[in-house]
Structure 1
Amino acid sequence: MQLESAPTEKRYEKPEGERRGLIIVNTGDGKGKSTAAFGLALRAHGRGKAVKIFQFMKVPTARFGEHRTFEKLGIPIEGLGDGFSWKSQDLEHSAQLARDGWEKARAAILSGEHFLVVLDEITYPLIYGWLPLDGVLQTLRERPKDVHVCLTGRRCPPEIIELADTVTEMQMVKHAFKAGVPAQRGIED
């Protein structure tokens, strides 16, 4: 490790632009995309802001750690899918669930009732062709000016990345799963 001196002066000027809702994307092959989005949700909720989380691949009855915590905190989280596509018995049904879920998410975004709307794992129904990209882009462009939207998932379409204000690409450097260690409850659920 190379040591460096702690900065003694601020390295940037404070932006003077208008505060407005942001489009935030967490993408890439590394872990942490959803976790980062959930951190934003907790931060907003902690400031008394209305938050809504939609999970495009999770089933409505999912009871992962985030569901249990958000339920206790009063943060609405809704599973819209039927799980991993490779476990699906009917991919057309999975696609229809995504389309129906998108209508709910779209309405939540356009209503202006939420400070932050999280679209967790939305990239998958987009890249599978289950959702029309143009409709998602149009909704993001037409949302009320103070509504923040965070989108997560691998291989985010470049059109969304172009439109976004902040994009973070999670890069896998090392992963326990590759070494044969199974997923750990409370870490990866």
Structure 2
Amino acid sequence: MATLTPEVTWAQRSSDSDETRNYLYVSINVADVPTSSADLKLTATNVSFTGTNLKGTKYHVSLDLYAEIDPENSKVNHSSRGVELVLRKKTLGIEFWPRLLKESKKVHFVKTDFDKWVDEDEQDEAQDDDYAANFGGFGEDGGLGGIDFSKLGGGLPGGEGLEGEEDDEDLPELEEEESGDKKIEELS
């Protein structure tokens, strides 16, 4: 059986003064690969993963990184969906890495994670602890990061549209022609 290369998605944050805000989000998207059959290695310049899923499909990827990371201060979360990494950049700097990989050649399996991406000039306005501290907003207690669901979906301001009210009074009646063909009334 052939070895497949998994999809890798990534995003980043940078800081020239706070090393805890200077990291990469890297996700290796391999579903149903148990931790027992996975081998993940982090070095200062490389991330490599090899694993076999429950159906027997083998995956392997080796990423030579653009610059150095700090493996000791990086985080790993292995789930049934894949492997999520928060890799601490070794060098402080406000500038983003121009790419994830050392080689400038585009590879088909590395993609930008736009759910986590923040533009370089907007990163101070973004929540900095969204993924790095809580892996995707899940709090330490496994909750959803303090979201108050009771305040969601409360209708429109002023109480309009609550309790399934239907307001059909303002809709015009449809007209039918004698021949049985339906005519769509133009609303202006």
In proportion to residue count, which structure has more strand? 2
TM-score range, shorter chain: under 0.3
The TM-score normalised by the length of structure 1 is 0.25
The TM-score normalised by the length of structure 2 is 0.25
Larger radius of gyration: 2
